Amino acid sequence: PTGCEQTSPRVTLTDSVIATRNLPQLVEPPHPESQSTELVTPSTMRLDRENIRAIGELRSLPNIHSLYLQQNHIEKIENLGCFPNLRFLSLAGNRIRRVENLQPLQHLHFLDLSHNQIQMLDPDELPCSLRLLDLTGNECTHQHGYRELVVEALPHLLQLDSQPVRSGVGEEEEEGASSSIEDEDDELLFELSGPFTADKDFFADLHRQLTGRSQWRRREALEEHQTRLEELEELQERRGLLLPP
């Protein structure tokens, strides 16, 4: 009535907010003759641009692997221990001033804290499990020895602020040929087509890239094997010409 633009009220992230924003998915039965359906809790929770100002105390949500909280008004990292299996966390574009309370996330691989208000960074507050970390747009990236401190504190880090981290590659090679599937996935993260951003489904893109890379490796191995067979046949023919009858 006054002609002033109305602003949406800022909310606190609670269990009720999660329930209304992330409803369970209805899954059809695997067999057509079955009449029952099943509710499956999604593994990705999208709460970006919801005017969230704080993260309240939540019930345990072990099924959540990806959490999108970018473009809100969050000022403090807190109460994330309820996501014990979290692997992807985006807090980009908030009002966070300090990196803290992330140690309970022991499986966290991807963390986006870009474009916040972090003045100083304590690397000990970052989970050692991190593979990709983005702090661009924060004042802390200008502190003395920033990159060296972060790389030293995170032994598994592969990418920092969209730039690859190649330290530790020699150590991984010394472990021998018995590398796990997870190690191969980490190696392939160097070859992602785009930078680490919060606006795309990172896990879907990663899966497609890994699948394509795996198929390319198979083709390359097959072509190399075929070339070696041809070389061996040619060598045998040459030996046959040189040997007496």
Q: Write the pLDDT tens digit of every residue in 4-28.
A: 334 456 788 877 777 776 655 444 4
Distance of alpha carbon 97 from the chain centroid = 22
Q: What does residue 212 show for φ and ψ, rounded to 5 degrees?
A: -65, -40
* pLDDT of res. 180: 46
Q: Write the pLDDT tens digit of every residue in 105-164.
A: 999 999 999 999 999 999 999 999 999 999 999 999 999 999 999 999 999 999 999 889
Give the separation between CA 89 and CA 68, rounded to whole angstroms: 6
Across the strands, what pairs with 27?
Answer: 38
Is a pLDDT exceeding 70 seen at residue 165?
yes
* pLDDT of res. 239: 64
Neighbours of 160 (CB within 10 A): 21
In the DSSP assignment, the letter for residue 189 is G
Give the separation between CA 233 and CA 215, rounded to whole angstroms: 27
Decide if 66 contacts 88 (C-beta within 8 A): yes
- How many secondary structure helices (H) and strands (E) does the chain include? 5, 11
For residue 141, CA distances in Å to 19, 37, 103, 114, 175 come to 36, 50, 21, 10, 32
Spell 32-46 as b/e; 16+ CB within 10 A means b: eeeeeeeeeeeeebb
For residue 50, CA distances in Å to 9, 46, 113, 121, 241 come to 10, 9, 17, 27, 79
Give the separation between CA 193 and CA 205, rounded to whole angstroms: 9
Share of the chain above pLDDT 70, in %: 64
Is a pLDDT exceeding 70 seen at residue 169?
no
* pLDDT of res. 150: 95
